[in-house]
Amino acid sequence: MIKENNRILEVKNLSVSYGKKVAIKNVNFTLREKEILGFIGADGAGKSSTLHAIAGVVSFEGEIIYRGYIYHSPKEAEKIKNEISLMPQGLGLVLYDFLSVKEHFDFFRGLRGLKKDIEYETRLLKMAGLYEFQDRLARNLSGGMRQKLSLILSLLPRPKLLILDEPTTGVDPISRVELWNIVSEMRKEGMSAIISTAYMSEASKMDRLMLFDEGEIIAVGTSQELTDSIKDYTYEGEIESSKCFSFNKKTYCLEPLPLNKATPTLEGVFFVNALKKGKKPILIEVSKKDLKIPDIIVKAKCLTKKFGNFIADDCIDLELRKGEILGLLGANGAGKTTLIKMLLGLYPIDEGELYLLGKRIKSFEDRIELKSKIGYVSQKFSLYKDLTIKENLEYFGRMHSLDTKEIKEKIDKYSKMFGFEGYLNSFPKDVPLGINQRFSLAAALLHEPLVLFLDEPTSGVDTIARSVFWKLLRKLKNNLGISILITTHYMSEAEYCDRVVVLKRGKKIMDEEITKLHEMYPNMDFEEIFLKVYKEN
């Protein structure tokens, strides 16, 4: 039972619309003191809109009551803004590129009228792994470092109500653990929080979860209650079927299957919900083709990149073979993006040798003829913001000399496959992060490259879309022999790679096949293996 005086937030009949589009309708819930409430749900389900309404940054219908204070609009919410802290979604959107980490602290402290608390600030900086990099400009931080800087800035005022919109997207597994330690300590001091997340392992740490679907809350409960509700539909192993979803070594099906039942996980709640709504898995077809592909796609010998005195990548050897999915893993700032940028020629190589598709790369000219064979999804959103999603894809198609008919067919195919057909006429800034990621991938695939470089393509993407995405990657590999170099902070996705290379502070600490790793570390899942290897090296 919720005690009346325990209640710090009441949301009554909340609706948010953008023009004709209804983002959420008639949402009702309460939040208790010291409670951590988790929002989960598909991309575009209405989580961010709900968070923004509570934080008083968008107009809404309905009523919100925060500790007895009633508000109906952003203007009325002004009064309580000092007690609430919002961290919006996106890799460090609230940062200023030309301010350093330290200057961000000074700026935000001034803005919120806070006194300097060196001990607390030091703790936040250390938690985020930014203590040593206080003089670095935000523009020179890695994606995850930017995310963590935004996060600790939102913790700086010690808010009574903390609202975090996917705070751990792009954040490495080690920092995710540290973040949770801080949140639970602040909770002891009386803070409540509402946190949306795409990582189901951390959703299970919340006191209560609300599952959003197409603008409504369709389930509320503890993690245990939600997973219990799908136990009859969860099976061991993966199968190819038009009636069931398979992902991460499990299959979800409403009809009985001749397979062993498996312990349900929160990820399964999404699949079972989709099945109950009559949704079917998308069948991904990639017809077999014998493409002329050399055996070694990338060979890098002792690649090194320095920024001033700082060595971002220190003599990295790397090989990517034909038809291989190679996972490039490592904590935030380990040097993954920098390495990919060297491979692509976006950063000059300071030392070392590079061969791409059999060709020694020495200058920019050496790369020109290879361009049409390479696809790239960058970590930082890099398509045109003032073109609609459809126009962006058309532009990319034309850049690669595809004809109009071909472009149209491909846009049709990928938008259906990745579920962004409803967003084709929207601008990138108006759509959820997960949707932008999906069409970035489509853009990289339009010209049918032989090798794909994917820098965190699944960060912030919902569970079902990630499962479609991995199915496609495996088909591209199996049916066409395409090679893929991919970075991810979802350790469960590493299971889909053939081999992983792990970087730590610019050095390679591991290069091993996944099957071998499971032999070396029996009975451990990949996240446990990763954390152990990282600690020991």
Ligand X SMILES: Nc1ncnc2c1ncn2[C@@H]1O[C@H](COP(=O)(O)OP(=O)(O)OP(=O)(O)O)[C@@H](O)[C@H]1O
Say whether residue 334 binds ligand X (CB under 6 A): yes
Q: Residue 374 CB, nearest distance to ligand X (Å)?
A: 19
Say whether residue 15 binds Mg ion (CB under 5 A): no
Say whether residue 88 binds ligand X (CB under 6 A): no
Q: Which two tokens stand for residue 71?
A: 């508000």
8 A C-beta contact, residue 162 and residue 192: yes
Q: Which of the stretches 47-55, 77-85, 175-183, 326-334 binds ligand X when contact is defined by CB under 6 A?
A: 326-334
Say whether residue 251 binds Mg ion (CB under 5 A): no
Which residues make beta-bridge pairs with 301? 353
Judged by CB under 5 A, the chain residues 303 through 342 that form the site for Mg ion are: 336-337
Say whether residue 186 binds ligand X (CB under 6 A): no
What is the spatial distance between Cα 92 and Cα 148, in angstroms, rounded to a whole number? Answer: 8
Q: Residue 332 CB, nearest distance to ligand X (Å)?
A: 3
Phi-psi region of 278 (alpha: psi -120 to 50; beta: other; left: phi over 0): left
8 A C-beta contact, residue 449 and residue 372: yes
Whole-angstrom CA distances from 156 to 94, 282, 382 are 14, 44, 30
Alpha-carbon torsion 402, 406, 411, 417, what sign? Answer: negative
8 A C-beta contact, residue 529 and residue 517: yes
By rule CB under 6 A, what count of residues binds ligand X?
20
Q: Which of the stretches 58-66, 142-150, 266-274, 392-400 binds ligand X when contact is defined by CB under 6 A?
A: 142-150
Give the type of residue at 199. Answer: Y
Say whether residue 129 binds ligand X (CB under 6 A): no
Say whether residue 92 binds ligand X (CB under 6 A): no
Nearer to Mg ion among residue 23 and residue 145 (C-beta): 145
Say whether residue 327 binds ligand X (CB under 6 A): no
Nearer to ligand X among residue 419 and residue 460 (C-beta): 460
8 A C-beta contact, residue 149 and residue 160: no
Judged by CB under 5 A, the chain residues 142 through 201 that form the site for Mg ion are: 142-143
The binder of ligand X chosen from 227, 379, 392, 436 (CB under 6 A)? 379
Say whether residue 428 binds Mg ion (CB under 5 A): no
The binder of ligand X chosen from 8, 42, 101, 145 (CB under 6 A)? 145
Judged by CB under 6 A, the chain residues 464 through 503 that form the site for ligand X are: none
Which residues make beta-bridge pairs with 14? 27
Q: Which residues 6+ apart lie within 8 Å of 464 measured at CB?
A: 42, 245, 270, 271, 274, 419
The binder of ligand X chosen from 336, 438, 466, 508 (CB under 6 A)? 336
Counting Cα atoms < 13 Å in the Cβ hemisphere of 415 gives 19
8 A C-beta contact, residue 317 and residue 300: yes
Say whether residue 100 binds ligand X (CB under 6 A): no
Q: What are phi and psi of 325, to 5 degrees?
A: -105, 115
Nearer to ligand X among residue 140 and residue 229 (C-beta): 140
Judged by CB under 5 A, the chain residues 358 through 417 that form the site for Mg ion are: 379
What is the spatial distance between Cα 442 and Cα 420, in angstroms, rounded to a whole number? Answer: 10
Of all residues in the chain, what percent are helix, strand and coil, respectively (each to 5)? 40, 25, 35
Judged by CB under 6 A, the chain residues 251 through 310 that form the site for ligand X are: 307, 310
Task: Output 390-394 pairs: Cβ under 8 A, ≥24 positions apart.
Answer: 390/424, 390/425, 392/428, 392/439, 392/443, 393/439, 393/442, 393/443, 393/446
Nearer to Mg ion among residue 145 and residue 194 (C-beta): 145
Q: Which residues 6+ apart lie within 8 Å of 16 measured at CB?
A: 22, 23, 24, 46, 49, 50, 52, 53, 58, 59, 60, 61
8 A C-beta contact, residue 331 and residue 175: yes
Nearer to ligand X among residue 335 and residue 419 (C-beta): 335
The binder of ligand X chosen from 49, 89, 100, 142 (CB under 6 A)? 142
Q: Which of the stretches 64-72, 141-149, 274-282, 441-449 binds Mg ion when contact is defined by CB under 5 A?
A: 141-149
Residue 312 interacts with which of ligand X, Mg ion, none, CB < 5 to 8 Å by class: ligand X
Q: What are phi and psi of 247, to 5 degrees?
A: -165, 145
Which residues make beta-bridge pairs with 351? 304
Q: Residue 303 CB, nearest distance to ligand X (Å)?
A: 12
Say whether residue 140 binds ligand X (CB under 6 A): yes
What is the spatial distance between Cα 380 and Cα 399, in angstroms, rounded to a whole number? Answer: 21
Say whether residue 337 binds ligand X (CB under 6 A): yes
Residue 333 interacts with which of Mg ion, ligand X, none, CB < 5 to 8 Å by class: ligand X
The binder of ligand X chosen from 41, 327, 335, 375 (CB under 6 A)? 335
Residue numbers of the site for Mg ion (CB under 5 A)?
142-143, 336-337, 379
Q: What are the residues binding ligand X (CB under 6 A)?
A: 136, 140-145, 172, 307, 310, 312, 330, 332-338, 379
